[in-house]
Structures are given as structure tokens and as C-alpha cells.
């Protein structure tokens, strides 16, 4: 029998994170996707300038696109600049796309980007989460649980 692959620890350079997503959504599964970018967008990302707080991914004509992600214009670019909030095509395998489209259409899930980063080979990637929105009561329960875990750890640390 073959060996099972261990999940590698993240070793890339994080450009942008969506911390609000873990608070607003219940995350079911995560996927990695490549992004089709222009040269000035890559330069801007390498400077660490991007915002994905309001971004989401959606299907258009059988392809997956990242919408509302803000990558500012690169100041030193020539006449070939880009629009900061343009639609960017996400690159994934057909099987993964079919699985995502089925979950989105059938179960009412949302695709939310968690972070944009450069992997070990220097390629820009997006970590997408298949998520379901939380209601206000769910958010309150989550904060209660976090507070209790924090207090419990503090008590155990002081006790022994």
C-alpha cells in the first residue's frame, strides 16, 4: 500500500487575508485555485497591496470568476494598467469545478476567498472556502464558545 500524503504546512507569502469570512460564514471545505492575472496586477500583489474583504467567487458560462477583489493599479506600470476591481478568472480542474458548481446551485453555499498568496514556486493562488452564511445567533454562540475555551485554558494554566 502507498503512503498517505501529509498535509503540508503553509509555506507561501500571504498577500491578503479575509479574516471577516471566518466570523461571518461556517466554512465547510477549502480549495486552492490559480488566478489569471496581468503583469501590473502581479507587481501590485508582490508589493502586498490587495483587499478581498468584500470579494466572492461566482460561476459565469461554466467558468469560475473572482468578483469584487480590489488590486490597486501599479504606479510604475506603463499604459498597460488594469482596472482595480475587474473580474479575474480562477483556474481549477474540471472535476473540482463541477463539485463546486453542484454545491453552490443545490445547497445554497457561497464561495468566499480566504486569502491570496504566492506559493513556494512564486505563483499567485487563492484559497477559496465553500461556506454557508451564519445568522446572528450562530455568531453569538461562536463567540461564547471562543470565550469559554479561552477561560478554560487560563484556568487550567493557573491551576496546575
Cell numbers standing for residue 9: 504546512
* Mean pLDDT along residues 103-124: 87
* Mean pLDDT along residues 130-134: 83
Model pTM above 0.95: no
| Chain segment 147-156, per-residue pLDDT in tens | 899 998 998 8
Q: Is pLDDT of 98 > 80?
A: yes
Residue 7 pLDDT grade (very low, low, confident, very high; cuts 50, 70, 90): low
- Phi/psi for 16 (5° steps) reads -145, 145
d(CA 17, CA 14): 7
| Chain segment 22-57, per-residue pLDDT in tens | 888 888 888 899 999 888 888 888 888 888 888 888
d(CA 27, CA 133): 9
d(CA 62, CA 120): 29
Domains of the chain and any CATH numbers: 13-134 (2.40.280.10)
Residue 112 pLDDT grade (very low, low, confident, very high; cuts 50, 70, 90): very high
Residue 91 pLDDT grade (very low, low, confident, very high; cuts 50, 70, 90): very high
**Contact present, 55 and 89 (Cβ < 8 Å):** no
**Contact present, 110 and 56 (Cβ < 8 Å):** yes
Amino acid at each position: 500500500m502507498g503512503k498517505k500524503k501529509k498535509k503540508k504546512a503553509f509555506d507561501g507569502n500571504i498577500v491578503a487575508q479575509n479574516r471577516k469570512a471566518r466570523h461571518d460564514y461556517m466554512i465547510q471545505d477549502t480549495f486552492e485555485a490559480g488566478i489569471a492575472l496581468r503583469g501590473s496586477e502581479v507587481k501590485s500583489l508582490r508589493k502586498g497591496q490587495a483587499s478581498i474583504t468584500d470579494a466572492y467567487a461566482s460561476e459565469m458560462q461554466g467558468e469560475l470568476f473572482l468578483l469584487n477583489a480590489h488590486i490597486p493599479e501599479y504606479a510604475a506600470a506603463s499604459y498597460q494598467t488594469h482596472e482595480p476591481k475587474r473580474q479575474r478568472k480562477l483556474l481549477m480542474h474540471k472535476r473540482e469545478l463541477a463539485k463546486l458548481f453542484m454545491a453552490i446551485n443545490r445547497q445554497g453555499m457561497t464561495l468566499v476567498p480566504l486569502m491570496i498568496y504566492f506559493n513556494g514556486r512564486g505563483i499567485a493562488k487563492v484559497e477559496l472556502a465553500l461556506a454557508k452564511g451564519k445568522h446572528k445567533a450562530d455568531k453569538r454562540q461562536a463567540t461564547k464558545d471562543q470565550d469559554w475555551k479561552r477561560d478554560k485554558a487560563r484556568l487550567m494554566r493557573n491551576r496546575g
